[in-house]
Structure 1
Amino acid sequence: MKKTIALISVFAVLMIAFSGCVGNSPAAVNGTDSDNPGTNSVSDEDAAGISTLETLPAGFEYYDTASFPIDQTKSDYKAENVSGVLNVSEGIYRDSNNTEYHIDVIELENKEAANNFINAYKASFPPLSNGSRFTDVSFNGHSAVKITEYVTDGGKTVPRYSYLWSNENYVIRVFGNTPEEAPIKQLAEATGY
Structure 2
Amino acid sequence: MFYLTLIYIFLLVGPAIATIAFFRRLSTRWHLFLLSLCIFYGISPFLMTGGAFGLANHFNCSAEAVRFRCPSPVWLGDVISGLAMAHWLAIFAIPSAILGAIGLLISGILQHRRSQDTGSTSGEIPAVFYRSRRHKVIAGVCSALAQQWHQSLSLLRVVTVVLAIVIPGFIFLYLWCWLAFPIEPRLQQQFYVKEDGEK
Q: Which category describes the TM-score, using the shorter chain as reference length? A: under 0.3
Q: Name the one with the larger helix percent.
A: 2
Q: Name the one with the larger strand percent.
A: 1
Tell me the TM-score normalised to structure 2 length: 0.20
